[in-house]
Amino acid sequence: MSSTNGHSQSSNGASVPTHPLIISNKPHTTTHSFPVYSPATGKLVHHFSSASIADADAALSSAQAAQPKWKTLPPAKKRDIFLKAAEIIESRREELSTYMVDETGAAAPWAAFNLNLATEILRDVAGRVSSISGSVPQTATEGLSALVLKEPYGVILAIAPWNAPYILGIRAVIYALAAGNTVILKAPEFSPLCSTGIVTTLHQAGLPSGVLNLLAHRPEDAASITKHLISSPIIKKVNFTGSTAVGKIIAELSGKNLKPVLLELGGKAPAIIWEDADLDLAAQECAVGSFLHSGQICMSTERIILHEKIADEFEEKFKQAAAKFAPEGTDPPVLINSAGVAKNQRLLKDAVEKGATILHGNHEEGKGTKMMPVIVKGTKKGMDLFYTESFGPTVSVMRVSSEEEALELANDTEYGLSAAVFTKNLQTGFRMAKGIESGAVHINGMTVHDESNLPHGGMKASGFGRFGAIGLEEWVRTKTVTFKD
């Protein structure tokens, strides 16, 4: 379905706006648009402009023209823009939160967390802008000196997802901008107005024309627009956060065009609960880690590996924690669409038919886009749930008797983004953390953990490259200059 620009009528007769793209800091209207519906209510929220190849070219030209001047803008001026943007987010908090709740079905606390961390990222990066530096190494040739320079790539393509639109959208653009690159942000089809909020905030803060442009498109245009952007000689590097399946496509396109790419992809995060763990803490952390935002977080806890000595006790405490997190009789948590609910029900049905048991919840319940948390016990190889990322409110509990078995089980996945270990013995925790193949391991904390001053990224099928504290290094390339004394 597409609409013309302007306003159309929703099911209740109210006028629904069509929001534009943003190119060269100005609204950019298009021939076609696509509808965005609320997953919580099913109502039409708005239409959003859909980019054509010509619109993509306009964004490319805008970013390319703006890059030389942005590259040379003093770090202090970039810093002031980012700090001002953080202030503007605070002043627009209610508006931006509403965008996220309406477009993604997020609970208000999750939207608030997104906005809080987005402002932290802006302020953290503002403080790091002047940290980029090269070096003056010694050379092996007498009478020859050298400089090693760090320079921005040029124009960056940033592709961010809907599930944490402010955190992941800000992250996708701000490190590249801080390093002197210009950026085209490709908005997710489910939450393009959240992306608009990011871009307009930075423009309000003083970001010059063309430094950050916003594109979005209809789902059916995804392949052609993405291929065109990555193939363009104007794009010098790509970052993508999203599913591993799409990440492989992005990596293939980037590889064919010899473009470096940063990928932060899916996960199947394990949490190991050891025999000496604080079980009350572990149960609470695992409940939040498993079911926050309906499990629609790449770092969500998907597998809980229990030492057999405490398994029975933990399972009871975990059921209680899950029941408190989403009490019976309340509205079930919302997923982005009905396909997410159907996927989780299909995974659970397959597991139960092959011998798993439901410890908490009802695997057959779930209507439309809503589904209560489910804990499944006895997930094993041969069940689809064992290896497949559920990306929903589903978590498996498994039992082991040794540390070797726990690590083998934790690593028996293609993914490696986040993990957790619960133990009162820090030596045990460090040893396990070193043994787990994951971009991050959190001792006595849940798998869902992200903060601006820490590197963030995965290994294996969870991707490569890092956002976060070392993020500026991702967006500069090294140039050697020699000169005779």
Looking at the fold, whether 22 and 121 belong to one and the same domain comes out as yes
Strand partners, 7: 17
Looking at the fold, whether 171 and 25 belong to one and the same domain comes out as yes
pLDDT confidence band for 14 (50 / 70 / 90) = low
In a domain, 4, yes or no: no
Provide the pLDDT for residue 276: 97
Average of per-residue pLDDT across 39-68: 97
Is the pLDDT at 328 greater than 90, yes or no? Answer: no
Average of per-residue pLDDT across 310-322: 97
- Lookup: tokens for 453: 């001053």
What CATH number corresponds to the domain at position 334? 3.40.309.10
In a domain, 11, yes or no: no
Is the pLDDT at 99 greater than 90, yes or no? Answer: yes
Question: How many Cα atoms are found within 13 Å in the side-chain-facing hemisphere of 417?
Answer: 29
Provide the pLDDT for residue 63: 98
pLDDT in tens, 259-302: 999 999 999 999 999 999 999 999 999 999 999 999 999 999 99
C-alpha to C-alpha distance for 169 and 105, rounded to whole angstroms: 17
Q: What mean pLDDT, rounded, does the chain reach?
A: 95
**Number of domains forming the structure of the chain:** 2
Looking at the fold, whether 261 and 298 belong to one and the same domain comes out as no
Provide the pLDDT for residue 367: 83
Looking at the fold, whether 325 and 242 belong to one and the same domain comes out as no
Strand partners, 395: 375
Looking at the fold, whether 55 and 146 belong to one and the same domain comes out as yes
Provide the pLDDT for residue 8: 52
- Lookup: tokens for 311: 């398994």
Provide the pLDDT for residue 253: 98
Is the pLDDT at 471 greater than 60, yes or no? Answer: yes
pTM exceeds 0.85, yes or no: yes
Looking at the fold, whether 260 and 275 belong to one and the same domain comes out as no
Looking at the fold, whether 206 and 299 belong to one and the same domain comes out as no
C-alpha to C-alpha distance for 434 and 368, rounded to whole angstroms: 42
Residue 175 · residue 472 · CB < 8 Å: yes
Percentage of the chain exceeding pLDDT 70: 97
Is the pLDDT at 195 greater than 60, yes or no? Answer: yes
User: CA end-to-end span of the chain, whole Å?
Assistant: 67
C-alpha to C-alpha distance for 75 and 52, rounded to whole angstroms: 35
Looking at the fold, whether 333 and 364 belong to one and the same domain comes out as yes
Instruction: Identify the DSSP state of 367.
Output: B
Provide the pLDDT for residue 4: 37
Provide the pLDDT for residue 468: 83
Question: How many Cα atoms are found within 13 Å in the side-chain-facing hemisphere of 60?
Answer: 19
Average of per-residue pLDDT across 153-179: 97
Looking at the fold, whether 278 and 377 belong to one and the same domain comes out as yes
In a domain, 194, yes or no: yes
Give whole-number Cα distances, 117 to 59, 157, 451, in Å: 28, 22, 7
Say what the alpha-carbon torsion angle 334, 339, 343, 349 is, to the nearest 10 degrees: 90
Looking at the fold, whether 254 and 387 belong to one and the same domain comes out as no
- The sheet carrying 463-464 orders its strands as 26-28, 21-23, 212-215, 182-186, 155-159, 235-241, 261-264, 463-464
Say whether 142 is catalytic. no
Instruction: Identify the DSSP state of 117.
Output: H
Residues of the chain by 3-state class (helix, strand, coil), percent to 5: 40, 25, 35
Average of per-residue pLDDT across 113-126: 96
Give whole-number Cα distances, 84 to 48, 93, 204, in Å: 27, 14, 9
Provide the pLDDT for residue 470: 78
In a domain, 273, yes or no: yes
In a domain, 9, yes or no: no
In a domain, 10, yes or no: no
**Domain, as residue range, for 304:** 269-452
Q: Could you give the residue ranges of the DSSP H alpha helices within 129-242?
A: 165-178, 192-204, 222-231
Looking at the fold, whether 329 and 226 belong to one and the same domain comes out as no
What CATH number corresponds to the domain at position 199? 3.40.605.10
Task: Tell me the pairing of strands 32-37 and 44-50.
Answer: antiparallel
- Lookup: tokens for 265: 């992809």
Is the pLDDT at 477 greater than 50, yes or no? Answer: yes
In a domain, 174, yes or no: yes
Is the pLDDT at 3 greater than 60, yes or no? Answer: no
Provide the pLDDT for residue 1: 34
Percentage of the chain exceeding pLDDT 90: 92
Looking at the fold, whether 192 and 308 belong to one and the same domain comes out as no
In a domain, 95, yes or no: yes
Q: Give the active site residue among 103, 264, 302, 389.
A: 264
Residue 167 · residue 230 · CB < 8 Å: no
Is the pLDDT at 11 greater than 70, yes or no? Answer: no
Is the pLDDT at 160 greater than 70, yes or no? Answer: yes
